[in-house]
C-alpha cells in the first residue's frame, strides 16, 4: 500500500505524481499567514531533525512554503509535493495542521517517534491533495472528573486528536466524584472538591481506601487551551450544573439542599443531588465561569444540564419563592430558567453555550445554544428543528463501552460498541430533511471514566474506534468498509510509533483482558436493551 492510499482519515481528492521529495529540518521556510501557521511549520520541520538525523552538508535546494488561501473552506487545505519542495495552502490554522498531518502520514512510520531513524533523512512521494472536512465539529470528550488525568496526559491527547484531524477537545471538568479546575474566587472548590478518600468501581464495588484526585490550575487550563489552539483544536470546558454537583456541594454545602449530607462521592457509579437553581447560586457560578473564560479564551462553554434531581426544589422555600416570582409552576421550568441565565452571562462574554439534550427538553436553551444530543436519534431530530446539534449518541459514540462480546474483554459500563458500529455511524441521517441535516454541526466520541482509572486504559478504549469516527466526520461516512480496514491496518504502526496502547481489532492484548479479578466480565453486554432504554427516556428532563 503506497503512502497516499494509507491515509486516515482519507482526503477528498488525491493525485499521486512521479518522484519523491526529500525533507529535512533545514529546508528554507516561507510563510504567508498567521504566526500560528508559521509555528506549526517550524515545529514540523524541527521534528524531522530530531527524529531523522539530517545529513550534514546538505546541498539540496528543496523548499517548504505555507500560503494563505483566501477562499478556502474552514479546515480545508491543499498540499502540493514536488521534487523541488512542499507547498501548503490553507485558510486557517486548522487547515495548516491538517495538511502537515497528512504530510507526516506520507513519511515512514518512524517519523511519529520522538527519536529514531532513518539516518539518510526523510523522503515523501510527490502528489497533490485537495481536502476539506464534511463536518465542522469533529470532537472528543474526556471525563477527567470520575478519574483525573494529569495535564501531560491531556496535552498528549491533543497530539493524538490532531494526528486524526479532530478539531474539538471537550473536557468534562466537574461531576459528583471530583471538581477539576482551580477557582481563585472560590478556592474550596479545588481545595475540597478535587479530592475523595476512596474509590468504588461499579454498583458492587468495595472502597479501595486510596485517596484520589487532582485539578488543573487556571494556568494549566490556559496552557491546554493554547496548545490545542496551536494545533487547530478548540478547547470546550464543561462545568456540569445544576445536577452532578456533589463535589461542588462538598466544598460549599450552602449551595445545595439544606440539611443534606455533602461529600465528594467515592462511588463512580452513583449520581448525587443537585444545587439550588436560585440567583445567589447563579452569581457564584458566574464567578467560576468568568475565571474559566478569562483563562482559556474558549468560544464555547458546556453547562451540562443533564440528569438533574429536581425532586426537592418545589419544597425548598427559597426555590419556591423564585419560582413564584417568575410565574413557574414546575421545577423543570426553573431548571430551564437557571441555565438560560448562565447562558446569557456567557453570551455577554462572547461565548456560546452548549448543553446536554435534557436541558433542551426543559427549555434551558437560548436561540444560539448548541444541543449535544446523547439520548438517541429522536431527541437529536427534535433539537435540530430549532437549534444546532452535535451528535453524541450513546450508541455508537460512548467509547467507554466494550468493543466486543469476547469473554476476555475487560469489564466496562456496557456494550458492545464495535469498530464496525462506529464506522457505520451517520451524524446527519439521510432520511432527515435537508434543513435538519444542515443543523448537525458534527459529532464527537465520549469516554466516561467511571471504569477508566488511568491513561493506558483510556488508550485501550479510545483507539482504534477514534480512527473510525475520524473517517466518518472527515469524509461524511465510511463508504467502503473493506478499504477502510486496509487503511487502518496500515495506520496502526503509526499508533505503535506514537506509543498508543490501542486494542487490536482482533481482540484485547493480554494486559487489556479482564482476567479473573475485579475486571472480569460478568456476562455479555446488553447494548440493544441499553439503546431502547435511552430512546425511552429521551423526552424526559
Residues catalogued as catalytic = 307
Residue 197's contacts (CB-CB under 8 Å, 6 or more residues apart) are 209, 211, 266
Is 73 within 8 Å of 50 (Cβ atoms)? Answer: no
Determine whether 434 is exposed, middle or buried from the number of CB atoms within 10 Å of its CB (0-12, 13-18, 19+). Answer: exposed
Q: Is the peptide bond before 242 cis (omega within 30 degrees of 0)?
A: yes
The Cα–Cα gap between 158 and 427 comes to 23
Report residue 467: phi and psi, to 5°.
-65, -40
Query: Contact 238/390 with Cβ under 8 angstroms?
Result: no
- Distance between CA atoms of residues 294 and 302, nearest Å: 15
Give the separation between CA 266 and CA 177, rounded to whole angstroms. 6
Whole-angstrom Cα distance, residue 23 to residue 20?
10
Going 414 to 163 to 152 to 74, the CA torsion angle's sign is negative
Cα–Cα nearest to 414, from 400, 425, 428, 427: 400
Amino acid at each position: 500500500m503506497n503512502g497516499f492510499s494509507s491515509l486516515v482519515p482519507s482526503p477528498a481528492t488525491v493525485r499521486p505524481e512521479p518522484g519523491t521529495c526529500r525533507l529535512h529540518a533545514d529546508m528554507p521556510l516561507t510563510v504567508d499567514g498567521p504566526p500560528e501557521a508559521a509555528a506549526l511549520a517550524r515545529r514540523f520541520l524541527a521534528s524531522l531533525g530530531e527524529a531523522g538525523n539530517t545529513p550534514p552538508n546538505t546541498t539540496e535546494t528543496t523548499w517548504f512554503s505555507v500560503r494563505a488561501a483566501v477562499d478556502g473552506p474552514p479546515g480545508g487545505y491543499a498540499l502540493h509535493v514536488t521534487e523541488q519542495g512542499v507547498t501548503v495552502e490553507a485558510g486557517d490554522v486548522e487547515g495548516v495542521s491538517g495538511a502537515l498531518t497528512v504530510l507526516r502520514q506520507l513519511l515512514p512510520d518512524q517519523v511519529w517517534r520522538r527519536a529514531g531513524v532513518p539516518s539518510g533523512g526523510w523522503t515523501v512521494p510527490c502528489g497533490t491533495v485537495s481536502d476539506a472536512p464534511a463536518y465542522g465539529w469533529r470532537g472528543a470528550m474526556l471525563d477527567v472528573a470520575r478519574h483525573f488525568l494529569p495535564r501531560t496526559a491531556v496535552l498528549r491527547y491533543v497530539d493524538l486528536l490532531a494526528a486524526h484531524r479532530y478539531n474539538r477537545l471537550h473536557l468534562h471538568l466537574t461531576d459528583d466524584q471530583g471538581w477539576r479546575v482551580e477557582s481563585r474566587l472560590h478556592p474550596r472548590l479545588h481545595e475540597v472538591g478535587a479530592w475523595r478518600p476512596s474509590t468504588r468501581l461499579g454498583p458492587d464495588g468495595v472502597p479501595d481506601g486510596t485517596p484520589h484526585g487532582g485539578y488543573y490550575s487556571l494556568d494549566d487550563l490556559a496552557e491546554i487551551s493554547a496548545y490545542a489552539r496551536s494545533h487547530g483544536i478548540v478547547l470546550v470546558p464543561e462545568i456540569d450544573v445544576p445536577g452532578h454537583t456533589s463535589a461542588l456541594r462538598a466544598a460549599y454545602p450552602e449551595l445545595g439542599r439544606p440539611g443534606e449530607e455533602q461529600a465528594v462521592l467515592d462511588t463512580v457509579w452513583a449520581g448525587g443531588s443537585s444545587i439550588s437553581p436560585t440567583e445567589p447560586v447563579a452569581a457564584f457560578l458566574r464567578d467560576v465561569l468568568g475565571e474559566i473564560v478569562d483563562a482559556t479564551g474558549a468560544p464555547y462553554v458546556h453547562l451540562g444540564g443533564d440528569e438533574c434531581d429536581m425532586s426537592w426544589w418545589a419544597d425548598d422555600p427559597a426555590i419556591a419563592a423564585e419560582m413564584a416570582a417568575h410565574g413557574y409552576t414546575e421545577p423543570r421550568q426553573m431548571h430551564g430558567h437557571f441555565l438560560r441565565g448562565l447562558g446569557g452571562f456567557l453570551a455577554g462574554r462572547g461565548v456560546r453555550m452548549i448543553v446536554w439534550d435534557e436541558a433542551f427538553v426543559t427549555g434551558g436553551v437560548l436561540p444560539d445554544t448548541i444541543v449535544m444530543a446523547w439520548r438517541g436519534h429522536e431527541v437529536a431530530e427534535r433539537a435540530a428543528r430549532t437549534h444546532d446539534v452535535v451528535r453524541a449518541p450513546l450508541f455508537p459514540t460512548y467509547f467507554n463501552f466494550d468493543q466486543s462480546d469476547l469473554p476476555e474483554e475487560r469489564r466496562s459500563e456496557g456494550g458492545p460498541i464495535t469498530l464496525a458500529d462506529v464506522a457505520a455511524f451517520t451524524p446527519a441521517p439521510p432520511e432527515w430533511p435537508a434543513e435538519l441535516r444542515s443543523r448537525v454541526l458534527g459529532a464527537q466520541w465520549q469516554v466516561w471514566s467511571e471504569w477508566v482509572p488511568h491513561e493506558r486504559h483510556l488508550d485501550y478504549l479510545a483507539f482504534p474506534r477514534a480512527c473510525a469516527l475520524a473517517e466518518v466526520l472527515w469524509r461524511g461516512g465510511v463508504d467502503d468498509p473493506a478499504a477502510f480496514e486496509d487503511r487502518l491496518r496500515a495506520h496502526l504502526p503509526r499508533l505503535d510509533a506514537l506509543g498508543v496502547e490501542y486494542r487490536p481489532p482482533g481482540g484485547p492484548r493480554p494486559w487489556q483482558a479482564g482476567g479473573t479479578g475485579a475486571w472480569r466480565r460478568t456476562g455479555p453486554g446488553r447494548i440493544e436493551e441499553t439503546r431502547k432504554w435511552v430512546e425511552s427516556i429521551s423526552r424526559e428532563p
